[in-house]
Amino acid sequence: MSEDLKNKIGFWTFLSIVINAQIGASIFLLPAELARFRAFGLIGWVIGGLGAIMIAMVFAFLCMDTDKPGGPHTYARMFFGEKVGFFVTWIYWCGSWACNPIIIATAVNYLCCAVGDFSPTGKLIAEISIVLSLTAINVKGVKCGGYLGNILLILKILPLVVVPILAFGNIHHEHFAEHTPAGMSVTETILKSSLVACWAFVGLEEGGAAAHSVINPKKTVPWGIVLGTTFVAVVSLLITVSVFGVIPLAELEKNGAPFATVLGTLLDGSYDKLIGILTFIMCYGSLNAWVLFSGQIAQSASNEGIFPKCFSKTSCNGSPTTALWIACLGTIAILIINEATPFGSTLSEFLDMSVIIYLALYLVAIVSYVTWAVKNKKYSWWKLLITLGAFAFCILIMSSSSIKSLYALGILLLISIPVYFNVRKRNAVV
């Protein structure tokens, strides 16, 4: 095997990374969040899942049909130039590590179920330790982070399969007969629940950002993204149906640890410690994928002349060390700030803002593919139909969000302006 291939990952490792990026805290948070929409939350989940699969297929089309595989930032620069490419890349990179604190907080909260409560200082130390350990692992190289993802994925799948099986004979069908919440129409309920459900699929495109570290990316990346997203959609729906069927929705809405409650009910006992450990492992695996991709995104952008050259500095094993440590410091800063203003008090708003940021990025990729098809006069009716479906899905879901949810996107754009001029001055971009 050549030195180049030694530092690259194959299909199964890539697939595990794609799945790990999506399966994390969302599995444990979203059933309770969707319960406030009652039974229509399941409809929203189905719509969100189908929309995510269509978006994943658009990324697969881009990877197969264009000159090179990549993430939204790659295609923004390819089709719309350096300026648009920079701003999309900036938002994409910031989103890859700025959304991690909510997953980290969930991981530590469930860890407390296993080892006991931490003091505020102890909790912060545990959170920072998670970030530092994962960054150190990925500094060892993409293969090291990928192998860890394989191990954690195996540990993840077991409970995700067990819960639907155990719940199959214990589903209370009357739970699904509850109507829409007061003050909301059916259409509004379905759209808002679809918006919430989309958070489970944030990260579906991350594989494209690491395409340069994958063996045979033209084949591996498209199949990995689509199959990984489909797997997450099916498993997540089964988990949500199981939770909805076991716990009354009015109670579920107020439940901070629905997964633990379901297993405790099904197994007729207290399994707080076991569930705490399993949940921590799941979140840790998801964070591993996000840490890996944050470095890959910045490295790719730097190699293309969009970010400062320091982001492309690598170790002897090809790991983008500078990019990984900068993202690590950014995450730690948010964790420290979070001690004063906990995300838990505004979870729904935080989820909405996170989803809006990524849907905006997905729209860029969708428009990029349409631009490519028109420019090259290569039309395929089924690809066009899926692409238009993905476009309509993004627009429809974004239109259902509140103006407040767009604040994060606007703030990131404002912060990026001075950074853009600094990069332009130093690297002569544009």
Q: What is the CATH number of the domain that holds 281?
A: 1.20.1740.10
Report residue 24's pLDDT band, with 50, 70 and 90 as the boundaries. Answer: low
User: What domain range is 251 assigned to?
Assistant: 3-427
Residue 3, pLDDT score: 43
For residues 167 and 26, which has the higher predicted lDDT (pLDDT)?
167
Residue among 201, 246, 229, 255 at smallest CA distance from 44: 201
Q: How many domains does the chain have?
A: 1
Residue 428, pLDDT score: 55
Residue 320, SS3 per DSSP? coil
pTM, entire model: 0.82
Residue 429, pLDDT score: 46
Cβ 1 vs Cβ 138: under 8 Å: no
Both tokens assigned to 150: 């394989």
Average pLDDT score over residue span 96-103: 81
Backbone angles phi, psi at 214, to 5 degrees: -115, 140
Report residue 344's pLDDT band, with 50, 70 and 90 as the boundaries. Answer: very low
Residue 1, pLDDT score: 42
Chain-centre distance of CA 34, in angstroms?
18
Per DSSP, the chain holds a count of helices (H) and strands (E) of: 18, 0
Both tokens assigned to 350: 């935080």
Using the predicted structure, report yes or no on whether residue 241 has a pLDDT greater than 80: yes
The amino acid present at 158, given as its one-letter code, is L
Backbone angles phi, psi at 269, to 5 degrees: -175, 180
Residue 119, pLDDT score: 86
Residue among 55, 59, 73 at smallest CA distance from 394: 55
Radius of gyration of the chain (CA): 21
pLDDT tens-place string over residues 126-145? 999 999 998 988 887 655 55
398-427 in b/e form (b: 16+ CB < 10 A) is bebbeeebbebbeebeeebeeebeebeeee
For residues 315 and 2, which has the higher predicted lDDT (pLDDT)?
315
Report residue 287's pLDDT band, with 50, 70 and 90 as the boundaries. Answer: confident
Average pLDDT score over residue span 392-403: 87
For the packed helices 11-22 and 217-246, what is the interaxial angle rounded to 10 degrees? 40
Residue among 163, 298, 332, 172 at smallest CA distance from 236: 163
Cβ 90 vs Cβ 412: under 8 Å: yes
For residues 143 and 225, which has the higher predicted lDDT (pLDDT)?
225
Average pLDDT score over residue span 200-218: 76
Using the 8-state DSSP alphabet, how is residue 141 labeled?
A: -
Residue 2, pLDDT score: 45
pLDDT tens-place string over residues 305-318? 788 778 888 877 77
Torsion angle (degrees, nearest 10) of CA 343, 363, 310, 314: 90
Residue 388, pLDDT score: 95
